[in-house]
Structure 1
């Protein structure tokens, strides 16, 4: 079964953006760890229903000083503020990931440069097999697909750090995408229909990317609207 797993937000300041999102929504945040090979740190805000926001920024100053590719990309994408970087789907069936990869003409991968270091080591598992990688999905304004066989240790279940927010998410309900439904269907192929992703999808006909997310909370519905990623030409 395929559904939405998480939504990546790129920022030039991990802590500022996380605090801003918590203030705007009331949601608490957890520390998601970091990727040594990419210089990225993460904070996570659960939207409920095993969906979460993944806030990322460069936390390794050497990556900035050395003008590493990821640091340059983050700088480019966040020049006009925080942005929705990636819409990430999941499947509990590895065959579905393989089918999607075949449709996209690629090979699934579990490689993430340098791996990931989690602040709560027992949470999560080894890097998920996924397709395509972010360069060939997010940077095109398109979703990618991860193999998540077990939700028992899902990142959305990490307890928020005390004092970061008392509101709890009750589930993602709607998203706004650029492009058209026909274009998303073409991207996804036969692996899943957009209507079967479990949320209402509005298409604004603009450049590809994610523009807004709406979700329920214990304090009523919330909508977050950020810049979409600037698709790579």
Structure 2
């Protein structure tokens, strides 16, 4: 049975990029497809891209193009871009112009059969046994495939616009007892000092996280006893 929580509004997302990346953990991404099919997934991993001095950001040093325009649009705007010429990544604009939060992983909550169907179609494989529920959305491109998020159907949508009934965020007031790991972002190899900055955040011990950082987890545990 589907549970509808409070939809997040502009004032909920009105935060600096790093604060927003942390705030989104535990929140629920909701996708409404044709025929009123509903998909839901809990956000369990995020990365923030700060713009400005952040050399890993598409808007580094104020760079502004037609492609990255959503990063400069109002809070809660969807920024979808293609990576490796074949996969999409999904971001949400934050308070600062040119800054956005990348959603890296979701814990599937509703509509898993449909998510699995999308994933299988993309891989052109009939082997569904290897697609465990927890792993349907354990990566930025995987979650886009599972939720049918593409540049042509999601880019520039504002998640806080109540007229938009295809994609939005919900609060889950009962999901707040979790620990967060701070670690370096993934796949950032040519941004010099920004390669190692702790701008990736994930929920400790959640099976849907794309990649654990055991060193960061060990440091977190040690700090708990200091």
Q: TM-score range by the shorter chain?
A: under 0.3
- The TM-score with structure 2 as length reference comes to 0.28
Q: If each structure's strand is expressed as a fraction of its own residues, which one has the higher value?
A: 1
- The TM-score with structure 1 as length reference comes to 0.27
